[in-house]
Structure 1
């Protein structure tokens, strides 16, 4: 029986730790998610667990905490799909696709090469799903965290910010799609593997059946599109979509993400829905990250694991940054601008942690490698700010923002990005300035 009083105490402890360490991370110029994950690691077996943390977070409460974390993840993935605007690619298709291809193909290939010698040690099951999963894990880019970094710096006004954000959106879609394939391969031996065959049909039904129904629900006569009375229908559709994809053995995050992606692309509607879901996401998503940290036990890592961590970091950083830089250079972005784009697409954060958590739950990797990859996600996210300061100094950024129209204080998001100029390859920073 789940001790409900202890569940409430745990949630209070989780939210307090997430708030304190999230704020501490933010004050040091890092995304709050880093502090939230560190809070989970501190509350877990790495630190607190060694002095009685098992009494605060016993096994009996973990199912309830995991359920709360999953609900927060469903809401978050819906908002990610809601805010994923592929119109960013318009007018920049060649550049964005070149950056996305380079920042995905090289780390994916290097990830496969790294996974092969590690499979005998870290693959719980067959080798192929493990190899593909590790390749996806090291080639992911965190679109939500990157969007926050770009917005906080005012880079959404610049061409470089727009290219990096659009490339991250494309990489995110590819990563989640390939992750679904990997999960499908890993589940293919089950008795219910036929359900996977329904996934393409479900995706088509969401686009051609559900999306028109949602447009009708949010007809132009309504203001602001959906009302509080209609919001329950959105929630029913969201969790039904998550349930269907979980039933198909694809994973519930894809259903939540897809439901957000097929919402009508009306600015007032998207803003209203984001505001409506924001309190629940802000409350429950930290639970997901802290619960993720609770599963990490860095104290059990032996000295030999440091060599694996170094290899993972080398493949992740060199593959991602090198591929992003090469893709940017091949599409005409000059060296400094290519370096900025490479630094930005190396951000992991939320997307990486979601992928790793799914991999652990699907038994695609061992807990020790999971802990090492969590460290990789933290390091690659934390290094974005310092590297960006060197590659794109604040004074140079201010010049590019001024050249883009002096809208540095405007925070409306990527939808306001200017169209790319024809002389992109002639500017030393890759910005709009001539």
Structure 2
């Protein structure tokens, strides 16, 4: 790197952090998740502003790969944190309402998204038509677990029965989304990569049967977590990054390796240790993730959208909102959840946040999305995240008790799983 590149990189990172923090704080004051402001910061620094004059000046071509490297590390650690949050206690014993809501929240928007994909194929070129159709269905079906948890905390719903159902539903939908995305990438990878993708099966076996017990012996010797030490945190970070590198080498995206490493982390007897790891990882990602928003924003050009693109945007928003809200509501109601809690759950599941941006980034990298469609999908992610809070306020001003028959395993007064999940999310990752 030349001296000029070093100077410009430092200035860019400082500017990214300043603008992301300022807009994140501003949107938080407007009772919106900070991720909304951070995404807007990335879009404002991209080609949408002044026909790209700002982005070309601040982020020349020789600096962008450096920012992408920082962004990728931030996303990998974020996905590790998402995997760390998906504790089995959240997914187990949450009642019939969770299964109904999860199915409705996934299948109905996916089906509508598939239909929309066939319409979009008329005007948007893609690398693989079949994978494109599945990907669009997947992209309108996702829910952002961290954003949902932040909203529950802000609204005082984290310790309610509805909060427990919402967290369990979002966790189930997230697991399905990442598995489906891995399948899409495997299909798009091409014949020469299929033999590498097949290595993911023995890799999963090794991670579960060998790496997980080794982590338990190292971090929880004798069934009790060892006192936190910098070496423990270093081992965890090394493992997450190596797992990310392994899946990338297999022809899969690095986010899957980082996510898997978070999932296999030992839980029993390691609660305090994991809390420390979450906090420290959150501090790192809070510094690196804003770079990801800018890298994503550099690919969003709203100024170049025409009238046909706006019609496509309207259709995408309609399908994303109606499919997610309607599917979740029908699924929850079919399993006994009352109308108002079912509506509140549907509004919560409609939020997408950074999770959607990560998925869209994979689609763009795979050649499934062109530049204009990627821009439209980013707008959809922002709009659906912004509308969740106001919609929830209108629907659910006062909590309604969820009948016992629909919440097997959730205590009458509060949900222990909901409380645990809320407290487990580091401050730096909440609202994403």
Settle same-fold status: TM greater than 0.5: yes
Kindly state the Cα deviation for residue 49 of structure 1 after the two structures are TM-superposed: 5.1
Where do 1:19-168 residues align within 5 Å?
Answer: 19-48=21-50, 50-168=52-170
Kindly state the Cα deviation for residue 124 of structure 1 after the two structures are TM-superposed: 2.2
Kindly state the Cα deviation for residue 294 of structure 1 after the two structures are TM-superposed: 2.0
Kindly state the Cα deviation for residue 4 of structure 1 after the two structures are TM-superposed: 2.2
Q: CA 1:48–1:35 in 2, change beyond 3 Å: closer, same or farther?
A: farther
CA distance in 2, matches of 1:61, 1:158: 47
Unmatched tracts of structure 2, length 5 or more: 404-410, 425-432
Q: CA 1:156–1:174 in 2, change beyond 3 Å: closer, same or farther?
A: same
CA distance in 2, matches of 1:342, 1:251: 30
Conserved 8 A contact 1:22-1:32: yes
Kindly state the Cα deviation for residue 87 of structure 1 after the two structures are TM-superposed: 1.2
1:192 correspondence with 2:193:
yes
CA distance in 2, matches of 1:147, 1:224: 29
Please say which of residues 122-131 and 29-38 is displaced more in the overlay.
Answer: 122-131
Kindly state the Cα deviation for residue 89 of structure 1 after the two structures are TM-superposed: 2.8
Q: 1:230 is paired with a residue of what secondary structure?
A: helix
CA distance in 2, matches of 1:396, 1:99: 18
Conserved 8 A contact 2:42-2:293: yes
Kindly state the Cα deviation for residue 350 of structure 1 after the two structures are TM-superposed: 1.5
Kindly state the Cα deviation for residue 407 of structure 1 after the two structures are TM-superposed: 10
- Paired position in structure 1 for 2:212: 211
- Paired position in structure 2 for 1:298: 302
- Aligned residue pair count: 411
Q: 1:46 is paired with a residue of what secondary structure?
A: coil
Conserved 8 A contact 1:219-1:225: no
- Paired position in structure 2 for 1:258: 260
CA distance in 2, matches of 1:231, 1:112: 42
Q: 1:309 is paired with a residue of what secondary structure?
A: helix
Residue of structure 1 aligned with 2:371, choices 367, 371, 375: 367
Q: CA 1:123–1:183 in 2, change beyond 3 Å: closer, same or farther?
A: farther
Q: 1:263 is paired with a residue of what secondary structure?
A: coil
CA distance in 2, matches of 1:367, 1:35: 22
Unmatched tracts of structure 1, length 5 or more: 417-434
- Paired position in structure 2 for 1:419: none
Conserved 8 A contact 1:115-1:135: yes
1:377 correspondence with 2:381:
yes
Please say which of residues 258-267 and 93-102 is displaced more in the overlay.
Answer: 93-102
1:331 correspondence with 2:332:
no
CA distance in 1, matches of 2:322, 2:206: 40
1:281 correspondence with 2:285:
yes
Conserved 8 A contact 1:86-1:169: no
CA distance in 2, matches of 1:224, 1:135: 44
Conserved 8 A contact 2:150-2:422: no
CA distance in 1, matches of 2:45, 2:246: 34
Conserved 8 A contact 1:154-1:411: no
Kindly state the Cα deviation for residue 102 of structure 1 after the two structures are TM-superposed: 0.5
Q: CA 1:47–1:168 in 2, change beyond 3 Å: closer, same or farther?
A: same
For residues 249-299 of structure 1, what are the alpha-carbon distances to aligned partners after superposition, in whole Å with 9 as ceiling and x for unaligned?
110000000001100113112101112212111111121122211221100
Q: 1:356 is paired with a residue of what secondary structure?
A: helix
For residues 55-105 of structure 1, what are the alpha-carbon distances to aligned partners after superposition, in whole Å with 9 as ceiling and x for unaligned?
111111110001100000111111111111231232224321211110000
- Paired position in structure 2 for 1:429: none
Superposed CA RMSD:
2.3
CA distance in 1, matches of 2:200, 2:379: 33
